[in-house]
Structure 1
Amino acid sequence: MRDYLILLVIIACIPLTLRRPFFGVLVWCWISYMVPHRLGWGFIQTLPIAAIIGLVFLVSYLFSKEPKRIPLHSPIVFLLLFNIWMVITFIMSVKDPYVLSQFEKIMKIQFFTLIILALLTSRQRIEQALWVVALSIGFYGVKGGIYTIQTAGGGRVWGPTGGFFYGNNELALTLLIIVPILFYLRYLVPANMRWLKLGLLAVMGLSVLAALGTQSRGGLVACICVGVFLWLKGPNKLAVALVILLATPVVYQFMPDRWHDRMATIIEPDRESYDGSVKGRFNAWEMAYNMAKDRPFGGGLNGFKAEHFYLYAPEPNRQHDSHSIYFQVMGHHGFIGFALWLAIYLSTWRSAKKTIKLTNKRDDLKWAALLAKMLQCSLIAYASGGAFLGLAYFDLPYHLVVTVVALQVVVKKQLAAEAAEKKQQQDQRLAEAGQPHPDRFKVQAPNSYE
């Protein structure tokens, strides 16, 4: 029954997507982040739902009057350069079936990310997309948070099968990325909708609890970083500080001894004291660095394979996945690819900072300043938690990038329109007063060809 219900909902979305391409963006985000077809039990799990919705959305977009150009701000320039470099490293690498499937998947994500950017043309659209993304992922935060309470922290929380964040480490990071976005969405809710404000607060709390319930050590590091930056960047610092100070000891005491024992291994006195999992990560990171030094194009999308460990790892027999976004990109695409990838996020942070500077002192644009700050908090979650797991190609961080760029475009468009209107009003007042326009007295530059 559940399979048929999900199928009916998806079928109902097709005509709406054909009529309104931006509705297709919302459906695509819902399919990508909630992966609802994986919640079924039968045939729905194997249907190519994402491919069907993606194809319908593309047809609708191509034949619509929606904008086809993307704003070439610095994060997008670096994103395009990184994509070009990935194509080059793909050409230079060994192309086994795994590499071919991964390359196709990554390019599809990048392609749809740029199309989404082209369609994020207003505040309303930016916020609608954020609502869908946050609530789609928040569903697993609520589900996981309740499970953590039921098991008193003893059961490990996992993400949806078939998604990017199925693993416990990946789920923890993904939930913590959306907490600042939920914080912003709660700010948008009118004061008279108290039930919705409380509901979003509950989703935030359960998502944090679910992230801790994954028993991910990287998740705890990301949780601390997000908490600090939410306090630094968010409004009502006293209220945020009180919530953090009151909730921290309660949650800490609630979690079982097994959780405390695992978290205690985050920092050890020396390398030999770490467990096999952490030692495997250290070995993989050194292998990635050595391989990048030897191979300018990196090891390709299947860089962390046995033969490369035998060539470049300090312990060839201790083979391990990258478990770090930084060393994943470095191992796959070399130092050039790593530099371009890092530049995407550094320039995104800088773009958000510029937006904050433009809007922070304006009451009518405080929403933009707060959103830019919360997106920075989400980037901090990705940068800190991602140091311990390989999610370099996950579409959510790229959605943060294009949202920051779209926000800056919307803000600059509004400021430019206000400046033009102000100038027009000034010209009109001068004309009504019979005074000459100031531009009449500007000295024209001599024509060098005369």
Structure 2
Amino acid sequence: MLKDLFLLGFIGLLLLLGLKRPFIWVLAYIYIDIVAPQKIGWGLIQSFQLSLITFVAAFAGWLLLDSKVGSRFTFRQALILVLLAWCGMTTLGAEFQDSAWAKWDWVWKALIFAAFLPLTLRTKLRIEAAVTFIVLAVGTIAINGGIKTVFGGGGYGELRLLADENSGMYEGSIISTVAIATIPLALWVARHTSIFPRHWTTWAFTAGLVFACLLIPVGTSARTGLICILVLFVLLLRSVRYRFLYAGAASLAMMAAVPFLPQEYVERMETIVGFRGDQSASTRLVVWQWTIDYAKEHPLGGGFDAYRANSFTYNTVVTTGEGAMRRVEYREVTETARAYHSSYFELLGEQGYFGLAVWLLLQGLGVWHMESLRRRFRRRDGDNRSWQWGLATALQQAHLVYLVGAVFVGIAYQPFLFMLVGLQCALWSYVQRVEGREWRAKLTGKPRPSPAMA
């Protein structure tokens, strides 16, 4: 009961503050969409539709009370609406209506909010506030999981986070991917924050948060998390100043960490190489082949949860015994209604070729836009790295880590991904608007506008 009252008090405070600054309602929705406090509590809090309340408040606040100066609608926001309309159409004709509409209930909100978010992020301060709230919301889950991992509460399917369930942000592979993707955003906030003091305490908290995020794949024993860590390590090589020093320090840290890793985690990571002996990995390959065949028969997609139509039998390699008594044999396995375990095949099976193409275009444009901004500000500022360069780099790194993790996890519609897309649209629009004003100011000789107020 005390937990419920604390959570409701915090949310109530955000709603009250929003009466003076409506943008705070947008931040409240970000917090609720990621942390899902209604799933953490046990009683009173579950009687409130917190997500719906803050969702409506965010839209109404912007529409009725907030300034629209500087709000722009980009091509990628239009793509989000196209994807939304296509998902709605495939849901109407979905093979499994009950589960399809259940998934639609949260997917449409993630897409609508992603298209809406850039309209509210008109200034640097607002962009920074949104990034900070995302980092702290993910950190709320990651710090809890990191502490439990340190004290031995981890294991595949055993790590209990804030909410005792195995879906959404509280599913092991999903939170592992999201936690690692959040690291570059956390580092950007620490470097460029104007919300918190630039003090050693800010960096100390950031270091603790990064460590907690790195512990999540260990606590969940999620193989996807290890792959995401390796991808992030490579991506950071592009942006750090002293690459050899970074590579050496990171390698030493990884070697030093190995003796302290749980044996269960090490054994599970070894199955990445010997995947044919792992039933979970073998199933994914068969499901992916089934999805390709299914898309040939249903090129427009089968709607949400179309995977429930699959059924197949295959052989998996099983090793028994040790040493001289070790035996390798093939075991026949029959599976039905197995999930895609890949965002790309999830899109192909549910939304068909067109839906997958729109989704890929949306993601590809995001990576390209951030690379374009990186190059623009690198040419302009050289080694004096601006906050715009830093944020474009962090968003690109977070996005690429997520997209790699998405190869092995069905997270194509997760709100976190579309919040990244919304932030990218906002930064792209902000730079185009402010840079255009500065160029016109040079021509006319007028003073340049303040970046915080632009």
Indicate whether the TM-score tops 0.5: yes
- Name the stretch that deviates more: 235-244 or 343-352: 235-244
How far apart, CA to CA, are the structure 2 residues paired with 1:159 and 1:331? 31
- Name the stretch that deviates more: 276-285 or 64-73: 64-73
Residue 205 of structure 1 is matched in structure 2 by 211
How far apart, CA to CA, are the structure 2 residues paired with 1:316 and 1:293? 23
Rate the CA distance shift 1:203–1:52 in 2: closer, same or farther, 3 A. same
Rate the CA distance shift 1:242–1:201 in 2: closer, same or farther, 3 A. farther
Rate the CA distance shift 1:260–1:365 in 2: closer, same or farther, 3 A. closer
Residue 92 of structure 2 is matched in structure 1 by 91
8 Å Cα contact 1:158-1:171 kept in structure 2: no
Residue 442 of structure 1 is matched in structure 2 by none
8 Å Cα contact 2:96-2:306 kept in structure 1: no
Task: Report deviation, 1:148.
Answer: 1.6
Give 1:65-214 correspondences, 5 Å limit: 65-67=66-68, 71-94=72-95, 96-151=97-152, 156-161=158-163, 164-189=168-193, 193-214=199-220
How far apart, CA to CA, are the structure 2 residues paired with 1:237 and 1:120? 33
Residue 371 of structure 2 is matched in structure 1 by 353
Residue 24 of structure 1 is matched in structure 2 by 25
How far apart, CA to CA, are the structure 2 residues paired with 1:335 and 1:69? 36
How far apart, CA to CA, are the structure 2 residues paired with 1:50 and 1:129? 17
Of the three residues 415, 419, 428, the one matched with 2:435 is 415
8 Å Cα contact 2:38-2:50 kept in structure 1: yes
Rate the CA distance shift 1:68–1:37 in 2: closer, same or farther, 3 A. farther
Rate the CA distance shift 1:19–1:70 in 2: closer, same or farther, 3 A. same
8 Å Cα contact 2:307-2:340 kept in structure 1: yes
1:329 aligns with 2:331: no
Residue 426 of structure 2 is matched in structure 1 by 406
Name the amino acid aligned to 2:297: D
Task: Report deviation, 1:240.
Answer: 3.2
1:220 aligns with 2:226: yes
Could you say what secondary structure the match of 2:350 adopts?
helix
Could you say what secondary structure the match of 1:388 adopts?
coil
Name the amino acid aligned to 2:222: S
Structure having the larger proportion of residues in strand: 2
Residue 448 of structure 1 is matched in structure 2 by none
8 Å Cα contact 2:144-2:162 kept in structure 1: no
1:285 aligns with 2:291: no
Q: Which runs of 4+ in 1 moved over 6 A?
A: none
8 Å Cα contact 1:296-1:335 kept in structure 2: yes
How far apart, CA to CA, are the structure 1 residues paired with 2:411 and 2:279? 21
Name the amino acid aligned to 2:92: I
8 Å Cα contact 1:85-1:337 kept in structure 2: yes
Q: Deviations over 1:338-368 (max 9, x none)?
A: 1111111001111111111221133477211
8 Å Cα contact 1:292-1:298 kept in structure 2: yes
Residue 321 of structure 2 is matched in structure 1 by none
How far apart, CA to CA, are the structure 2 residues paired with 1:115 and 1:74? 13
Identity of aligned residues (%): 23
Task: Report deviation, 1:410.
Answer: 1.4
8 Å Cα contact 1:288-1:327 kept in structure 2: yes
Residue 452 of structure 2 is matched in structure 1 by none
Rate the CA distance shift 1:284–1:216 in 2: closer, same or farther, 3 A. same
1:275 aligns with 2:278: yes
8 Å Cα contact 1:158-1:167 kept in structure 2: no
Task: Report deviation, 1:26.
Answer: 0.7
Name the amino acid aligned to 2:175: L
Q: Deviations over 1:210-230 (max 9, x none)?
A: 222210011111111011111
Residue 260 of structure 1 is matched in structure 2 by 266
8 Å Cα contact 1:298-1:332 kept in structure 2: yes
Rate the CA distance shift 1:387–1:115 in 2: closer, same or farther, 3 A. same
Name the amino acid aligned to 1:389: V
8 Å Cα contact 1:159-1:165 kept in structure 2: no
Q: Deviations over 1:180-219 (max 9, x none)?
A: 1011112125896011112101110121112222100111
How far apart, CA to CA, are the structure 1 residues paired with 2:339 and 2:129? 36
8 Å Cα contact 1:92-1:297 kept in structure 2: no
8 Å Cα contact 2:144-2:161 kept in structure 1: no
8 Å Cα contact 2:94-2:302 kept in structure 1: yes
Task: Report deviation, 1:94.
Answer: 3.6
Structure having the larger proportion of residues in helix: 1
How far apart, CA to CA, are the structure 2 residues paired with 1:332 and 1:316? 23
8 Å Cα contact 2:153-2:159 kept in structure 1: no
How far apart, CA to CA, are the structure 1 residues paired with 2:76 and 2:244? 34
RMSD, aligned CA: 2.6
Q: Deviations over 1:402-434 (max 9, x none)?
A: 2112112212222211111111129xxxxxxxx
Could you say what secondary structure the match of 1:361 adopts?
helix
Q: Deviations over 1:78-122 (max 9, x none)?
A: 322222221222233246222112112211121122221110111
8 Å Cα contact 1:177-1:379 kept in structure 2: yes
Of the three residues 387, 396, 407, the one matched with 1:367 is 387
How far apart, CA to CA, are the structure 2 residues paired with 1:69 and 1:340? 27
How far apart, CA to CA, are the structure 1 residues paired with 2:73 and 2:45? 39
Q: What count of residue pairs does the alignment treat as equivalent? A: 421
- Structure 2: segments with no counterpart, 5+ residues: 314-331, 447-454
Task: Report deviation, 1:130.
Answer: 0.6
Rate the CA distance shift 1:47–1:68 in 2: closer, same or farther, 3 A. farther
Name the amino acid aligned to 2:85: I
8 Å Cα contact 2:312-2:336 kept in structure 1: no
Name the amino acid aligned to 1:375: L
How far apart, CA to CA, are the structure 2 residues paired with 1:234 and 1:152? 34
Rate the CA distance shift 1:189–1:53 in 2: closer, same or farther, 3 A. closer
- Structure 1: segments with no counterpart, 5+ residues: 427-450
Q: TM (normalized to structure 1)?
A: 0.87
Could you say what secondary structure the match of 1:322 adopts?
coil
1:386 aligns with 2:406: yes
Give 1:49-60 correspondences, 5 Å limit: 49-60=50-61
